[in-house]
């Protein structure tokens, strides 16, 4: 054990100290350049689509902490081995540190929105980790290279451990302060009233029609929530336009704003899944702005870029076809929450989020589909992303135990842009029966439905299917979300007693 545990610990502690100092450096300058976040981001970008889907499906919004913990664990194993091997061969310490610095630096430099000095935290961290490792080894193995000096080891190891904890705490504190600054700049935003406000929700919508911001699903690749300095923030519109512009947040707020109830959903949502919500969005309508600038008739793709380098491509024809595509500044009566894209995000009713709803927006480029593949398209997802007609049973919950008698089966159905004209429910293998549709403000939102069920004792399977405004019935064939959205009828099984 004495041959293994102390040198392994020396390896791990040295790395922890180096990483923690690198993270402080990054937190104070560019948080996305921290080695853990950079490597995590690189892993997310490199992960094959099925793995990513699996992570979103099984881990939900815990996917990010789980990823970081996995990277941490890999790092522990790697540095423990380096520590053990370095007792007899000091060059292993140097090589290990170099490899470790290179991985962090490469990951940071290859992030989409990287700047040249993003490699600095990883290189500094690796140099410190390597130096600390050599120092701890020299102190702990005296007078010969392999004679272990327990007291010296404990003393110096405690010192390094303390240093790592302090540095780690400092990195956390700096991140807090920065996040606090973004929160304060958000708190200071006073949103103007919409020139074209949303009408009150029609009478008869049931509770839950609007999803509160705190409950709204979150799906993105950002390991750290971008904290945008509103004063320095600009939206640049360029590419195949008659006139390029750079707009400040105030420039946007000076334009006439529209307010709309729109349902947003994720292409990764499984049949019956939770990645869908409806909010009242406030924003600048995009079509008139683009028409003012003049769009080159050859431009068929609008590429939105976010501050952390996400790219989302949207068909220009979709943005200009009369739907309420907008640059959102408000969500349910508040400035956009940080996690939902503060200060500005895009929203394109009728498209999945990955194809029309770029958060933390900073750039719009008019280009062509032939010339540019956006982030998810490069990973095999469909380039255009129209929402498929779908429906979900929310009540009863799966495997609920119910009492016999009259029960209300309820849920939602959506086909943004086309609207929902009918929802049918089937109990076991009986005939499909029409559900009641509750009123909805427009075809861009989901529709709530309910169905009165005379439940008899036994195990029952409930199924739902919707028909959209074009008359098309929701596709029965089960398909996975990849590459362009799940299909299939949602079913729920319940026991009636
Ligand atoms: N910058 C950025 N914008 C993004 C994403 C992202 O990863 N980064 N994910 C998109 C996807 S896949 C979806 S479904 C929606 C989710 O928006 P929400 O998190 O506000 O619900 O954001 C879109 N916009
Ligand atoms: Mo998504």
- Domain boundary residue among 352, 379, 406? 379
CATH code, domain carrying 252: 3.90.420.10
Residues 348, 361: Cα–Cα separation, whole Å: 14
For ligand 1, whether the C-beta of 332 sits within 6 Å is no
Say if 384 falls within a structural domain: no
Confidence of residue 177 (pLDDT cuts 50, 70, 90): confident
Q: Which ligand 1 atom is at minimum distance from the Cα of 376?
A: 12
Does residue 59 have a pLDDT over 80? Answer: no
Confidence of residue 111 (pLDDT cuts 50, 70, 90): confident
Distance (angstroms) between ligand 2 centre and the Cα of 45 equals 14
Say if 98 falls within a structural domain: yes
Does residue 489 have a pLDDT over 90? Answer: yes
**Nearest Cα residue to atom 19 of ligand 1:** 218
For ligand 1, whether the C-beta of 360 sits within 6 Å is yes
Q: Tell me: do 218 and 324 sit in the same domain.
A: yes
For ligand 1, whether the C-beta of 385 sits within 6 Å is no
Q: Which two tokens stand for residue 366?
A: 């008019």
Q: Tell me: do 118 and 146 sit in the same domain.
A: yes
For ligand 1, whether the C-beta of 355 sits within 6 Å is no
Q: Tell me: do 425 and 471 sit in the same domain.
A: yes
Distance (angstroms) between ligand 1 centre and the Cα of 354 equals 6
Q: Which ligand 1 atom is at minimum distance from the Cα of 264?
A: 21
Among all ligands shown, which has an atom nearest to the Cα of 485? 2
Distance (angstroms) between ligand 1 centre and the Cα of 385 equals 13
pLDDT single digits (tens) 451-483? 999 999 999 999 999 999 999 999 999 999 999
Say if 122 falls within a structural domain: yes
What average pLDDT does the structure give for the chain?
Answer: 94
**Nearest Cα residue to atom 22 of ligand 1:** 353
pLDDT single digits (tens) 393-432? 999 999 999 999 999 999 999 999 999 999 999 999 999 9
Say if 80 falls within a structural domain: yes
For ligand 1, whether the C-beta of 26 sits within 6 Å is no
Domain span holding position 436: 390-496
Which residues share a beta bridge with 479?
487
Among all ligands shown, which has an atom nearest to the Cα of 486? 2
- List % helix, strand, coil for the chain (3-state, nearest 5): 40, 25, 35
Q: Tell me: do 419 and 458 sit in the same domain.
A: yes
Q: Tell me: do 363 and 438 sit in the same domain.
A: no
Angle, alpha carbons 422-477-383 (nearest 5°): 90
The preferred substitution site among 275, 353, 377, 486 for testing ligand 1, maximizing ligand atoms within 8 Å of CB, is: 353
- Domain boundary residue among 353, 379, 405? 379
Q: What is the pLDDT of residue 60?
A: 67
How crowded is residue 483: how many other Cβ atoms within 10 Å of its Cβ?
15
- Judged by average pLDDT, the poorest of 70-79, 233-242, 347-356, 465-474 is 70-79
Neighbours of ion ligand 2 (CB under 5 A): 219, 266, 353-354
Does residue 57 have a pLDDT over 70? Answer: no
For ligand 1, whether the C-beta of 218 sits within 6 Å is yes
More confident: 145 or 210: 210
Q: What is the pLDDT of residue 65?
A: 86
Backbone phi, then psi, for 184, in 5-degree steps?
Answer: -65, -40
Q: Tell me: do 268 and 403 sit in the same domain.
A: no
Q: Tell me: do 62 and 97 sit in the same domain.
A: yes
Closest of 167, 133, 169, 126 to residue 153, by C-alpha:
133
* Mean pLDDT calculated for residue range 183-210: 96
Instruction: Tell me what percent of the residues of the chain surpass a pLDDT of 90.
Output: 82
More confident: 177 or 196: 196
Distance (angstroms) between ligand 2 centre and the Cα of 311 equals 13
Residue 263's alpha-carbon distances to 216, 312, 427, 433, in angstroms, are 11, 18, 28, 26
Say if 192 falls within a structural domain: no
The preferred substitution site among 349, 357, 358, 379 for testing ligand 1, maximizing ligand atoms within 8 Å of CB, is: 357
For ligand 1, whether the C-beta of 153 sits within 6 Å is no
SS3 380: coil
Q: Tell me: do 144 and 56 sit in the same domain.
A: yes
Q: Tell me: do 158 and 251 sit in the same domain.
A: no
Q: Tell me: do 90 and 170 sit in the same domain.
A: yes
Closest of 470, 462, 463 to residue 422, by C-alpha:
470
Q: Tell me: do 30 and 150 sit in the same domain.
A: yes
Residue 60's alpha-carbon distances to 65, 273, 320, 394, in angstroms, are 11, 11, 34, 18
* Mean pLDDT calculated for residue range 133-146: 86
Q: What is the pLDDT of residue 159?
A: 92
Task: Work out how many domains the chain is built from and give that number.
Answer: 3
**Nearest Cα residue to atom 16 of ligand 1:** 219
- Is the separation of the CB atoms in 346 and 326 below 8 Å? yes
Q: What is the pLDDT of residue 135?
A: 93
Distance (angstroms) between ligand 1 centre and the Cα of 314 equals 13
Does residue 261 have a pLDDT over 80? Answer: yes
Going by the DSSP 8-state scheme, the letter that residue 497 receives in this structure is -
* Mean pLDDT calculated for residue range 61-90: 90
CATH code, domain carrying 457: 2.60.40.650
Say if 204 falls within a structural domain: no
Q: Tell me: do 397 and 367 sit in the same domain.
A: no
Does residue 109 have a pLDDT over 70? Answer: yes
Q: Which two tokens stand for residue 465?
A: 């299917």
Q: What is the pLDDT of residue 178?
A: 82
Residues 443, 470: Cα–Cα separation, whole Å: 12
Three-state SS letters, 302-328: EEEEECCCCEEEEEHHHHHCCCCCEEE
Residue with tokens 């040249």: 116
- Is the separation of the CB atoms in 85 and 57 below 8 Å? no
- Is the separation of the CB atoms in 194 and 258 below 8 Å? yes
Q: Which ligand 1 atom is at minimum distance from the Cα of 216?
A: 21
């Amino acid at each position: 054990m004495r041959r293994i545990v102390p040198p392994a610990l020396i390896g791990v502690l040295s790395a922890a100290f180096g990483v923690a100092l690198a993270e402080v450096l990054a937190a104070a300058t560019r948080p996305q350049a921290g080695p853990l976040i950079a490597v995590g981001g690189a892993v997310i970008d490199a992960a094959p689509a099925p793995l990513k889907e699996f992570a979103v499906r099984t881990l939900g919004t815990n996917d990010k902490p789980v990823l970081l913990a996995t990277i941490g664990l890999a790092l522990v194993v790697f540095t423990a081995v380096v520590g053990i091997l370095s007792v007899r061969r000091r060059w292993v310490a140097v090589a290990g540190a170099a490899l470790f610095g290179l991985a962090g630096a490469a990951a940071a430099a290859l992030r989409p929105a990287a700047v040249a000095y993003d490699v600095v935290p990883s290189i500094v961290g690796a140099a410190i980790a390597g130096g600390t490792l050599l120092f701890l080894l020299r102190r702990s193995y005296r007078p010969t290279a392999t004679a272990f000096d327990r007291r010296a080891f404990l003393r110096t190891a405690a010192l390094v451990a303390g240093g790592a904890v302090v540095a780690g705490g400092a990195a956390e504190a700096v991140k807090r302060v920065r996040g606090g600054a973004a929160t304060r700049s958000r708190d200071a935003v006073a949103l103007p009233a919409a020139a074209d406000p949303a009408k009150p929700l029609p009478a008869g919508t049931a509770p839950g029609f609007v999803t509160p911001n705190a409950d709204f699903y979150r799906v993105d690749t950002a390991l750290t929530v971008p904290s945008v300095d509103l004063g320095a923030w600009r939206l640049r519109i360029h590419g195949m336009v008659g006139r390029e512009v750079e707009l400040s947040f105030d420039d946007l707020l000076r334009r006439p704003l529209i307010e709309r109830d729109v349902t947003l959903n994720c292409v990764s949502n499984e049949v019956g899944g939770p990645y869908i919500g409806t909010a009242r969005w406030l924003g600048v309508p995009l079509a008139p702005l683009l028409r003012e600038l003049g769009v080159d008739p050859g431009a068929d793709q609008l590429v939105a870029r976010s501050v952390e380098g996400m790219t989302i491509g949207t068909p220009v024809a979709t943005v200009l076809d009369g739907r309420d595509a907008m640059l959102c500044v408000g969500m349910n009566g508040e400035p956009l929450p940080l996690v939902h894209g503060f200060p500005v995000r895009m929203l394109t009713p009728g498209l999945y989020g990955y194809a029309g709803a770029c958060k933390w927006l900073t750039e719009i480029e008019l280009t062509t589909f032939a010339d540019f593949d956006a982030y998810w398209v490069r990973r095999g997802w469909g380039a255009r992303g129209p929402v498929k007609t779908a429906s979900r049973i929310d009540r009863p919950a799966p495997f609920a135990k119910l009492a016999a008698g009259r029960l209300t089966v309820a849920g939602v159905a959506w086909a943004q842009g086309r609207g929902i004209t009918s929802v049918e429910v089937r109990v076991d293998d009986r005939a499909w029966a029409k559900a009641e549709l509750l009123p909805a403000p427009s075809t861009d939102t989901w529709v709530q439905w309910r169905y009165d069920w005379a439940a008899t004792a036994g195990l029952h399977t409930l199924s739902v299917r919707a028909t959209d405004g074009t008359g098309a019935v929701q596709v029965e064939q089960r398909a996975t979300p990849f590459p362009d959205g799940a299909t299939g009828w949602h079913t729920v099984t319940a026991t009636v007693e």
